[in-house]
Amino acid sequence: MYRAHEIFRVESAIIVTQSFHLPRSVFIARRLGINAYGTPADQNPYGFKNNIREVFANVKAYLDILYGRIPKYLGEEIPITGNGYESI
């Protein structure tokens, strides 16, 4: 999400991911200033292990946002522009 905002200059997004990742993804995107909405892309149920892992991932995400942590690898700015439709 940080790269989407800072490198690709994404201002709005629809996030498609597994349901256990979705709340964290939308939370991070919105906190970074992306107008984000999400939809789950689950095909199979996920087990207890994934849910436990997500608890810790949520805490880490919250702390990263709270303390303004910047990812180690970002790259050069490559703005994504337009509405996604090819010009005719």
**pTM score of the predicted model:** 0.76
Any domain includes 49: yes
Any domain includes 42: yes
Per-residue pLDDT, 73: 82
Any domain includes 26: yes
**Percent of the chain, pLDDT > 70?**
92
| Domain membership of residue 45 as a residue range | 2-67
Any domain includes 73: no
Any domain includes 79: no
Polymer length of the chain: 88
Q: State how far the Cα of 6 lies from the Cα of 78, in Å rounded to an integer.
A: 9
Any domain includes 48: yes
How far apart, in Å, are the Cα atoms of 77 and each of 2, 19, 43, 85? 12, 30, 34, 22
Per-residue pLDDT, 83: 67
Q: How many domains does the chain have?
A: 1
